[in-house]
Amino acid sequence: MTEPRPAWDRDHSASFAWTPGPAEHKRSRLARLIEVAGMTSLDEFRRQSATDPAWFWEQMTRDIGVVWKSPPSRTLDLSRGPEFATFFPDAGFNYTEQALDHWIANGRADHPAIIWEGEEGSTRALTYLQLHAEVSKASHGLASLGVRRGDRVGIFMPLIVECAVAMLACSRIGAIFTPIFSGFGASAVATRLNDCDASVLITVDGAYRRGKAVDLKAVADEAVLLSPCVRRVVVIRRLSENDRGTTPWDERRDVWWHDVLAGQPVDHRAAPTLANDPYMVIYTSGTTGQPKGTRHIQAGFPIKSAADQIVLFDVQTDDRVCWYSDPGWMMAPWLIKGPLLLGATVCLYDGAPDWPDAARLWAYIAKHRVSVFGIAPTAIRSLMRHGSDPVNRHDRSSLRALGSSGEPWTPEAWWWFFSEVGQGRCPIINYSGGTEISGGILGCTTIEPQQPCGFTGAVPGMSADVIDHDGNPVRGDVGELVVTQPWVGMTQSFWGGPPPSHPDHDPARQAAADRRYLETYWTRPDQTGTWVHGDWAQITPDGSWYILGRSDDTIKVAGKRLGPAEVEASVLTHPGILEAAACGVPDAVKGEVLAVVAVPRNANDADDPERVARLATEIAEIVVRDLGKTLRPSPVVIISELPKTTSGKVMRRVVRAVLASDPNLGDLSGLDNQSAIDRLKSLVTGMA
By the 10 Å C-beta count (0-12 exposed, 13-18 middle, 19+ buried), 564 is classed as: buried
Mean pLDDT of the region 450-463: 96
| pLDDT reading at 267 higher than 60 | yes
pLDDT score recorded for residue 288: 45
The span from the CA of 344 to the CA of 112, in Å, is 8
pLDDT averaged over the chain? 91
**Could you write out the DSSP letters of every residue in 317-367?**
TT-EEEE---TTSTHHHHHHHHHHHTT-EEEEEES-TTSSSTTHHHHHHHH
Indicate the range of 5-9, 97-101, 675-679 predicted with least confidence.
5-9
Does a structural domain hold residue 484?
Answer: no
Domain that holds residue 214: 54-464
| pLDDT reading at 10 higher than 50 | no
| pLDDT reading at 319 higher than 60 | yes
User: What percent of the chain has pLDDT above 90?
Assistant: 75
Does a structural domain hold residue 232?
Answer: yes
Reported as a pLDDT band with limits 50, 70 and 90, residue 592 is confident
Residues 234 and 111 placed together within one structural domain of the fold: yes
Q: Write the pLDDT tens digit of every residue in 543-586.
A: 899 998 777 676 767 556 666 877 888 899 999 999 999 988 88
pLDDT score recorded for residue 590: 66
Does a structural domain hold residue 69?
Answer: yes
The secondary structure of the chain in percent helix, strand, coil, rounded to multiples of 5, reads 35, 25, 40
pLDDT score recorded for residue 290: 73
CATH assignment of the domain containing 607: 3.30.300.30
Does a structural domain hold residue 669?
Answer: yes
Q: Write the pLDDT tens digit of every residue in 339-383.
A: 999 999 999 999 999 999 999 999 999 999 999 999 998 889 889
Q: Write the pLDDT tens digit of every residue in 533-544.
A: 988 899 998 889
Reported as a pLDDT band with limits 50, 70 and 90, residue 243 is confident
Phi/psi region, residue 557 (left: phi>0; alpha: psi -120 to 50; beta: rest), is beta
Q: Tell me if 180 sits within 8 A of 167, measured CB to CB.
A: no
pLDDT score recorded for residue 577: 95
Does a structural domain hold residue 503?
Answer: no
Mean pLDDT of the region 89-104: 98
Residues 457 and 578 placed together within one structural domain of the fold: no
pLDDT score recorded for residue 1: 36
pLDDT score recorded for residue 378: 82
Q: Tell me if 482 sits within 8 A of 529, measured CB to CB.
A: no
Residues 286 and 433 placed together within one structural domain of the fold: yes
| pLDDT reading at 5 higher than 60 | no
Total domains, the chain: 2
Boundary-marking domain end, from 464, 480, 508? 464
The span from the CA of 152 to the CA of 635, in Å, is 47
Q: Write the pLDDT tens digit of every residue in 510-522.
A: 999 999 999 989 9
Does a structural domain hold residue 548?
Answer: no
Q: Write the pLDDT tens digit of every residue in 111-158.
A: 999 999 999 999 999 999 999 999 999 999 999 999 999 999 999 999
CATH assignment of the domain containing 159: 3.40.50.12780
Higher pLDDT, 648 or 211: 211
CB within 8 Å of 126: residues ≥ 6 apart: 112, 113, 114, 134, 161
The span from the CA of 525 to the CA of 527, in Å, is 6
pLDDT score recorded for residue 2: 37
Reported as a pLDDT band with limits 50, 70 and 90, residue 11 is very low
Residues 266 and 370 placed together within one structural domain of the fold: yes
Boundary-marking domain end, from 409, 429, 464? 464
Q: Write the pLDDT tens digit of every residue in 274-300.
A: 999 999 999 986 544 578 899 999 999
Higher pLDDT, 3 or 105: 105
Reported as a pLDDT band with limits 50, 70 and 90, residue 202 is very high
What stretches of 570-680 adopt beta strand conformation (E)? 577-587, 591-600, 636-638
| pLDDT reading at 20 higher than 60 | yes
Residues 263 and 117 placed together within one structural domain of the fold: yes
Boundary-marking domain end, from 449, 464, 479? 464
pLDDT score recorded for residue 8: 33
The span from the CA of 388 to the CA of 36, in Å, is 43
Residues 460 and 567 placed together within one structural domain of the fold: no
Residues 275 and 160 placed together within one structural domain of the fold: yes
Encode burial over 272-307: b for 16+ CB neighbours within 10 A, e otherwise: ebbbbbbbbbbbbbebeeebbbbbbbbbbbbbbbbb
pLDDT score recorded for residue 504: 83
pLDDT score recorded for residue 7: 39
By the 10 Å C-beta count (0-12 exposed, 13-18 middle, 19+ buried), 6 is classed as: buried
Q: Write the pLDDT tens digit of every residue in 480-505.
A: 999 999 999 999 999 999 888 788 88
pLDDT score recorded for residue 688: 66
The span from the CA of 327 to the CA of 335, in Å, is 10
Does a structural domain hold residue 528?
Answer: no
pLDDT score recorded for residue 121: 94
Residues 569 and 439 placed together within one structural domain of the fold: no
pLDDT score recorded for residue 4: 38
pLDDT score recorded for residue 183: 83
Rounded (10°) CA dihedral 313, 317, 320, 323: 40
Reported as a pLDDT band with limits 50, 70 and 90, residue 223 is very high
| pLDDT reading at 22 higher than 90 | yes
Does a structural domain hold residue 379?
Answer: yes
Provide the CB-side half-sphere exposure for 110 (13 A, CA): 0
| pLDDT reading at 666 higher than 80 | no
